[in-house]
Structure 1
Amino acid sequence: MDSDDLGLFGPGSVTWKVHEEPILIVAGLRSLYLQSLHPRAMAGVAQNSNYRSDAWGRLVRTATYVGTTIYGTTAEAEAAGLRVRRRHARLRATDLFTGEEFRVDDPELLRWVHVTEVESFLDTARRAGLPLTADEIDGYYTEQRRSAALVGLDPATVPGTAAEVADYYRRIRPELRMTREAAETALFLTAPPIPWKLSLPARIGLNLGPPRWAYFGIAGTALALLPAWARRMYGGLGLPTTALSADLSVRALRLTLATLPRRWREGPLQQAAKERAARLAGTPA
C-alpha cells in the first residue's frame, strides 16, 4: 500500500539527509549554469523548451519532479520517470556545429544532466556546512543511480562514487565550451523575468530593488560555487579565494534558511513522506 511505501530512498538514506537542506535551491541554479556548457545539451533545451517564456513554471515543474523522485512513493516516482521518458523520446534537436540531428534522450546527454545535478546538490550541501563522511558522499552518488534509472539510464553506466564523478568530469571537459547559447542562457538565469505577482507593484511605481538584488546574490553564489574550470569558461577566475567567498556566502544563507518555519522550508511531498515514515515507525512526525 502507498501508505506504507517510503519511496526509492527513505528516512535512513543519505539522499533524505542531503535533500533536507533548503539551500539546495542554490544547487539547482548551479546545475543549470553547469549544464549549459554542454553544446548538445544546451541545443536540446533551446530547441525544445519554452523556458524563456515560462521560466518560473519550468522551475516549479522541475522542482516537483525532483521532489517526487526523492519523497514520493515508489509508484509516484516511477510514474514521474515514465512521463519524462515518454516526453524525451519524442524530442529531437540539431547540433549547431555539425548540423547533425540527435535524440534528446541520448544516454550521453541524460548522463551529463544527471551527474551535474546530483554533484551540484551534494557539493552545495557540503559547502554550506552539512557534515557528510566519505562513505556518505559515495553513498549518495550510489543511491542516486536509482534516479538515473527513472530517466532511462542504465545505472551501471552512471558514476556512483565521488572518484567516479571526478573522473567523469575529467573525461567530458574537452566536449564542453562557452557557446553563444550558453552565454545567453547564463544571462537569462542571472536576470530572469519577475513573476507577475511581483512585477505588478513595479508597474505602479513600487521599488522591487531588494527582491531583485537578493536574487542576484543567489545567482552570484551559484556561479561562484561552480568548479574552478567551469568558472573560467564563464570568464571568471578559478581562484581559491573565489571558492572561499562562495563557501562563506552559502553557509550564511543556510543559517538564514534554517530560521524559517518548517512549513516554509519543506514542501508538501517532503512533509507527506515524513508523516508516512513517522507513522510506520510509530513516532510523531
Structure 2
Amino acid sequence: MLTELRERLGMALFHRVAGPEGPATRARIHLAPGPRWFGPDRPIRTVHGDASMFIGGISALLLQSLHPLAMAAVAAHSGYRGDPWGRLQRTSTFLAVTTYGTAEDARLAVDHVRGIHEQVRGRTADGLAYHAADPHLLGWVHAAETDSFLRAHQRYGAHPLDAAGYDGYVADAARVAEALGVADPPRDRRQLSECLAAYRTELRATPEARAAARFILFQPPLPLAVRPFYGGLAANAVALLPPWARGMLWLPRVPVVEDIAVRPAGHVLTKTIRWAMTPPRERTE
C-alpha cells in the first residue's frame, strides 16, 4: 500500500511539473547518446536534481518580479495566469535539457528560447520600453534564479555542497546564461552577490509584481486538498527571500513562526517529494 501511494504521488508530481510528454522527454534527455554540457560530477546536476527546486522555483518567481521591465514582459506575454502549469512545464523541461541533455539538445533548447525572447517587446505602464532579449534584463532574471536555487539547496538540499561546490554551481549556471545572451554572468557566489546588489536601484514592487505574488502565493490553480501542501512550499519560498525583497512585496517576517513551523515544514515537504519521486530500489535476493 505504501509503495502504491509513493508511485501515485510521484506520478502526480512528475505529471504536474513535466506535463503529459514528461516520460518521453525524460527518456530522451537522459538516454540519448552524445556529449553533455555538464558531466555527472558537476554541481548543477546536484542542485537541479534536488527536491529543494520546488521551493527555490517559487522564490525565484517572486524575486524576479521585482524588476519592473521583467515583470511587465511576464505580465503581457507569458500567460502565467491562463496557463501557469504550461509555463512551469516549459521551464522545467528547459532546465532539464540544459542540465542533463545532450549538447545538441541543449543548444536547440537555448535557440528556441532566444527566438521567443527576441519577439517579446513592449512598454510598461510608465512608458518604459522593454525587450526580453536585452542582455541586462536577462542578467537580472538569471541572477535572481541562480541565487534562489542556490539558497534553496543550501537550506533544504539532501546533500548540501561545500563552498567550492556552490561556487561551481554559479559557474555552471553561467554557461547556460551566456548561451541565452547574458553578458558576463557571475561565476562564483561573491560575484553573484555583487550582481544582485548592482540591480537593487532598479527594483521595485509594481502593482503587477504584487498581483503576481498574490497569484503565486494565495491563488494557485490547485484542488483544495492540495493547497495546504503547496502553502507549505510557498511559505518556505517567502522565508528564503532576501529581507529587502520581502519588504518590497509586503511579505513580513515572523521569526518565531518561521523557525518553529515554516522551516521544519519545508524539510518535511522536500523529504516527502524526494521520497515520492525517487523510484524504490529493486529487491535483490
Q: 1:252 aligns with which of 268, 274, 279?
A: 268
What corresponds to 1:148 in structure 2?
Answer: 177
2:214 to 163, 187, 197: 187
Query: Alignment length, in residue pairs?
Result: 248
1:5 to 34, 56, 60: 34
- Equivalent residue number for residue 240 of structure 2: 225
**Which residue of 95, 98, 105 maps to 1:69?**
98
SS in 2 for 1:259: helix
Task: Give 1:236 deviation, angstroms.
Answer: 2.8
1:152-195 per-residue CA deviation (whole Å, 9 max, x = no partner) reads 223xx111111111111222112111110001011111234536
1:262 aligns with 2:278: yes
> Is the 1:128–1:247 Cα contact (8 Å) retained in structure 2?
no
After superposition, the Cα gap between the structure-2 partners of 1:209 and 1:133, relative to the gap in structure 1 and judged at 3 Å, is same
Q: How does 1:170-181 map to 2 (within 5 A)?
A: 170-181=197-208
With 176-185 and 208-217 compared, the bigger mean Cα shift is at 208-217
Q: Which runs of 5+ in 2 are unaligned?
A: 1-30, 281-285
AA partner of residue 27 (structure 1): G
The one-letter code of the counterpart of 1:223 is: V
2:107 is aligned to: 78
- Is the partner of 1:132 in helix, strand or coil? coil
The ranges of structure 1 where at least 4 consecutive aligned residues each deviate by more than 6 angstroms after the TM superposition are none
Deviation at 1:209, TM superposition (A): 3.4
Where structure 1 has 5 or more consecutive residues not aligned to the other structure, the ranges are 196-207, 265-285
Q: What pairs with 1:18-57 in structure 2 (closer than 5 Å)?
A: 18-57=47-86
The answer as to whether partners of 1:28 and 1:121 remain within 8 angstroms in 2 is yes
2:162 aligned with 1:133, yes or no? yes
Q: How far 1:258 moved relative to its partner?
A: 2.9
Amino acid in the other structure paired with 1:153: V
Tell me, in whole angstroms, the C-alpha distance in 2 between the residues paired with 1:215 and 1:172. Answer: 30
Q: Where does residue 121 of structure 1 map in the other structure?
A: 149
Instruction: State how far apart, in whole Å, the 1-side matches of 2:153 and 2:265 are.
Output: 12
Deviation at 1:102, TM superposition (A): 2.7
Letter of the structure 2 residue corresponding to residue 120 of structure 1: S
Partner of 1:88: 117
The TM-score with structure 1 as length reference comes to 0.80
Question: How far has the Cα of 1:112 moved from its partner?
Answer: 0.7
Matches of 2:160 and 2:128 in 1, distance apart? 45
Alignment RMSD: 2.1
In the TM superposition, residue 223 of structure 1 has moved relative to its aligned partner by 1.2
1:102 counterpart SS class? strand
Residues 81, 180 of structure 1: alpha-carbon distance in 2 compared, 3 angstrom cutoff: same
Q: TM-score, normalised by structure 2?
A: 0.80
